[in-house]
Amino acid sequence: MRYALGIEYDGSEFLGWQRHGNGATVQAAVETALGFVADQPVAVICSGRTDAGVHAACQVVHFDSDVPRTDRAWVLGSNTRLPASVRVLWCQAVDAGFHARYAARARCYRYRILNRNIPPAMQRQFLSWERLPLDADAMHRAAQQLIGEHDFSAFRTVQCQAKHPIRTVHSIRVCREADQVLVDVQANAFLHHMVRNIVGSLIPVGRGEQEESWLGTLLAGGDRNVAGPTAPAAGLVFLGPKFPGEWNLPVAVTL
């Protein structure tokens, strides 16, 4: 039987999603918890890997298990064994052809910047901080140059293992809510650090240090060395993937 899970996590204490030999990862925590419920090892595949310090509102994974457990048992049992920073939100049986990564048609991220003179005390693990005033409207206009299918080499870290730098950005929105600037991006997929590098290049535009056209120049040039710095991980949340309606998953992760 194949199952899909929706998972929420605060990534502050983890070295990213993917299991590896050194340090705590979200994948390792989830697999350990599911293994406890199944009383045997369980391996999960996620819809999109997140980096160290990055959070998720609804990461979606799938796993296979033949042990007789209800959806409710997977949720409640796993949550008793997960750290407080990770929670399984829902579980449902899915068709054997479902694949959390390959069935997803889009991924959505949100980046939050606290834009005021004083850095945050409250919610600081979920916010980046910028002291100088930002023009969110200028950032939004500049960001529209990234919509469509492009070579995003200018916003790709050198450690990126993707086979090619071509990605399709469906939408990107920058807006202000009181003293916060929000950047929402939806694309078919993302390169390593792509969202954080885009935000790092939008901030100089928001400060008035670069023209709005600079984003288009960076995109066309494809040179990571001349783009803005990588924005801090703390402000980034993986809102979740989007799947076609045929999989009958919760509304939050359905196109």
Distance (Å, whole) CA 91 – CA 168: 30
Q: What is the pLDDT of residues 169-213, one digit of tens each?
A: 999 999 999 999 999 999 999 999 999 999 999 999 999 999 999
User: Are both 2-103 and 106-238 of the same fold?
Assistant: yes
Write the single-letter amino acid at 32: T
Please indicate whether residue 51 is annotated as part of the active site. yes
pLDDT tens digit string along 102-155? 999 999 999 999 999 999 999 999 999 999 999 999 999 999 999 999 999 999
Name the architecture of domain 2-103.
Answer: 2-Layer Sandwich (3.30)
pLDDT of residue 219: 97
Just give the CATH number of 106-238.
3.30.70.660
Position 20 scores a pLDDT of 84
Phi, psi of 200 (to 5 degrees): -60, -25
Contacts of 14 (CB under 8 A, 6+ apart): 23, 24, 25, 26, 29, 52, 53, 85
Tokens matching residue 149: 């299918």
Instruction: Give mean pLDDT, residues 152-170.
Output: 92
**Which one is catalytic: 39, 51, 95, 151?**
51
Q: What is the dihedral of CA 111, 114, 119, 125, to 10 degrees?
A: -30
pTM of the predicted protein model: 0.95
> To 10 degrees, what angle do helices 136-143 and 194-207 make?
130
For the chain, what are the domain ranges?
Answer: 2-103, 106-238
Distances (CA, A) of 51 to 100, 104, 193, 238: 18, 19, 8, 10
